[in-house]
Structure 1
Amino acid sequence: MNKKIMIVVYGGFLRGMGHVVRMKRLAKELIQEGNDLYFYTNEQVCVEMLSHSAWHVHLVKESNVILQIEQDIKEINPDLLLIDVLHCELQLLRSIKASSSNAKLVLFEEERTEACQLADAVVNGIYGGLDEKHLQVNGTDYFYGTPYLLLDHEISKLKDTYEVRKECKKVVISLGGSDPEGLLTKAVSALREAGHLHILAVTGKASRIEEKIKATHIQFIRHTDQLSAHLAEADLAIVAGGMTLYEAVCIGVPSIVLSQVDHQAVTATRFAQKGACYHLGLGRLVDEKDIWRAVRRLSGSYFLRRSIHLNGRSLIDGKGTERVKNILIYLMNHHQKEHKDV
């Protein structure tokens, strides 16, 4: 009998699209195991991103989400509940917990003690730092570190084939699914005179940026599911400190980082300290001339690009999605054990 999995994930212009992207990646793995999946999300752009013939996608109003989720939990009787919502309301988590007598509850990128105590497992691939750690506290399993990152399943293959070329010719710029600070425009503008480079600028699904900069060496593309493949073709990347940075580090693409928010700056600083990227800081505080200096420095130095490439390769193996899938399958298959009561 198929297992039933409900996934609550929010995204959008202010929240970004990283949550939605990683849950879709995980869903593709879980659906191959013969499970039935039900998505609940908050914005139409997220519905479009999640759309797939293999599962159900529901648009919910955040003001009414508790009532709808409670009702659907009773009808579906799920085996597993996955929550990937930034600062998810504790009232929603408690309601989900109370409504599901059988389902295992798993939270993603959650640090608040009062939220984690409600869960059977917490997966912190980003918040958990660079080193792997698995522990259990008061009945909740915690999985920390980059081994649990939900990256594209093609990443490990691209990692095996990527090589740093002596001459830097292609730069890929990707600064998030929503880019609320408008950093892509700043980065592209900084390189408008770099005619010796081919610039591929990727705008995200929820981005409101208009393509105003015209130059023969600059190409814009709207949201793509092939971003990892584009990164693997780049000699240099300019990225934010979110999921795309992890992908670039895993593949080994030398990267310059313009962080969108504070927690991304923390991530990028960790990688920079390992020599695995070149972090310029919070993007809104960075001048175009600083971006151009960084690009000129790295594009002109094969030694620096190769050093960043080698330093990053050992930090992420790209197999986190498979690991997390196996963790979730284990949780569902041990349904007969007493459900955690908080």
Structure 2
Amino acid sequence: MVSMKQIYLITEGNPILGMGHVTRCGALAEAFREKGCQTFLVAGESPVSMDFPGSLLSYPLAKACQQGGWQQQDTRDALAKVMGLMALQAGDPEEKVMVLDRYDLSPDWVLQLKHTAHQVGYLDDYHHRISEADFLVNHQVGAEEELQPGGFYENLSIPMKLAGGQYALLRNDFRDLPIKELGETVLNVLIMTGGGNQKGWQEKLLQWTWEIYPKLEAMASKPVTLHLLTGAQGPLFHTWEQQTQNLQGIQVYPRMAADQVAAMMKKMDLAISAGGGTVYELAAWGVPTLALVLAENQEPFVNAMEKRGLVRSLGGHKRLDSQYYQKMLLSATEDLLWRQTSSRKMQRLVDGRGPERVAAALLANNNR
């Protein structure tokens, strides 16, 4: 029975990786929970995983990992800890499904964990080839093309492969949102670079945007507000507050609850964002976005989004300079047609029901 299923999601999060993995696993966990499953989240060393509401998940594994000092860089030790923790959990192995979402995945992970679970699969946005798995999920736009002849997944002998933007793993805050009504001018600009503020990009983007702030206000003929959302594992709020307290036009937000982030995005006219899962959240609200590639695995996703007219890419962080960034920002601000068109396309792509689709498919596959 579905109500007897135990779903284990093994993920990771830290100041370098940010919290994207934990967030999307939390969204998938919620979808399984809604279908009557008992859900466990193993989030390694990151304490932020504990911020999910108590009604959402059960945390015996996450707590044990944290108390045990599981270090992300020690792959062998991490696997051993998961195996040990799984051995302590009651329940029929035939009713257990394990979802892995870690960069250090290997066939050994899957083979070892198959001793304790009926099905083991993984979330993939880094082109892992693990034929020993029972399923894979790649929720990036463009990933569906990898299933076609000549694609990366074509000859990968995994029973179930779910790929494409329809599987975007977003929290319930982003489900079935109303159509975005864009104004003719850009009055609210959001800047966010994910949970870890990699390589200080929050500071750079804010500084470069502030340098052309007079132009943004002149184009709007009204006051413009720059909204800076500090990452869950980035600089402390009071540091940003001290740096910007005398600058009118800049609003800094502390570490916000998930529902508060969703509500804030709703008000934005334009966003500058890292090219990870946050882009999907902005897409759900129809917020025109300039996407910056901060990690290697973000590049194909951002490129596919730009190819479809969903975002404009700022390219990789190693090549981006202030002149090009400011040119792109001013161009997006002026281009009302692009902002309106991209907003409509984004909301047609993302309806927030990706986790529901993934959970339904995996449970149906597990019951065969």
TM range (shorter): 0.7 to 0.9
Unaligned runs of 5+ in 1: 335-342
Q: After the TM superposition, which residues 168-247 of structure 1 pair with which residues of structure 2 at under 5 Å, given as runs?
A: 168-193=186-211, 194=213, 196-208=223-235, 210-211=239-240, 212-214=243-245, 215-224=247-256, 225-226=258-259, 227-247=261-281
SS of the counterpart of 1:199? strand
> Displacement, 1:309?
1.9
Q: Which runs of 5+ in 2 are unaligned?
A: 149-153, 218-222
Residue 41 of structure 1 contacts residue 59 of structure 1 at CA under 8 Å; is this kept in 2? no
Structure 2 residue 295 is matched with structure 1 residue 270:
no
Contact 1:189-1:213 within 8 A present in 2 as well: no
TM-score by length of 2: 0.81
Task: Report sequence identity in percent.
Answer: 21
For the structure 1 residues 254 and 197, does the alpha-carbon distance in structure 2 shift closer, same or farther, using more than 3 Å as the test? same
Equivalences, count? 329
Task: Return the alpha-carbon distance in structure 1 between the equivalents of residues 306 and 184 of structure 2.
Answer: 22
After TM superposition, the structure 1 stretch with the greater mean CA deviation from structure 2, 204-213 or 183-192, is 204-213
Which one of the candidate residues 115, 124, 127 is aligned to 1:111?
A: 127
What's the CA shift string for 1:181-216, capped at 9, x where partnerless? Answer: 221111111222526311111111122474134422
* Conserved 8 A contact 1:10-1:85: yes
Give the counterpart letter for 2:127 in structure 1: E
TM-score after normalising by structure 1? 0.86
Paired residues of 2:292 and 2:316 also in contact (CA < 8 A)? yes
Poorly superposed stretches of 4+, deviation over 4 Å: 130-137
User: What amino acid does structure 2 have at the position aligned with 1:219?
Assistant: Q
Partner Cα distance (2:175, 2:53) in 1: 25
1:42 matches 2:44: yes
**CA RMSD, 1 decimal:** 2.6
In structure 2, how many angstroms separate the alpha carbons of the residues matched to 1:16 and 1:330?
32
Alignment partner of 1:149 is 2:149: no
Work out the CA distance in 1 between the residues paired with 2:321 and 2:159: 45
Of the three residues 94, 98, 101, the one matched with 1:81 is 98
- Residue range with higher mean Cα deviation, 206-215 or 196-205: 206-215
Kindly indicate whether residue 330 of structure 2 is the aligned counterpart of residue 312 of structure 1.
no
The structure in which a higher percent of residues are strand is 1
Aligned residue runs from structure 1 range 280-291, under 5 A:
280-291=314-325
Q: Deviations over 1:93-118 (max 9, x none)?
A: 32212x22x521121016322x2x12
Aligned-pair distance for 1:179? 2.1
Q: CA deviation at 1:74?
A: 2.9
Cα 1:332/1:281, change in 2 over 3 Å = same
> Matched residues in 1 for 2:170 and 2:266: separation?
14
Structure 1 residues 265 and 136, CA, compared in 2 at 3 Å: closer, same or farther? Answer: closer
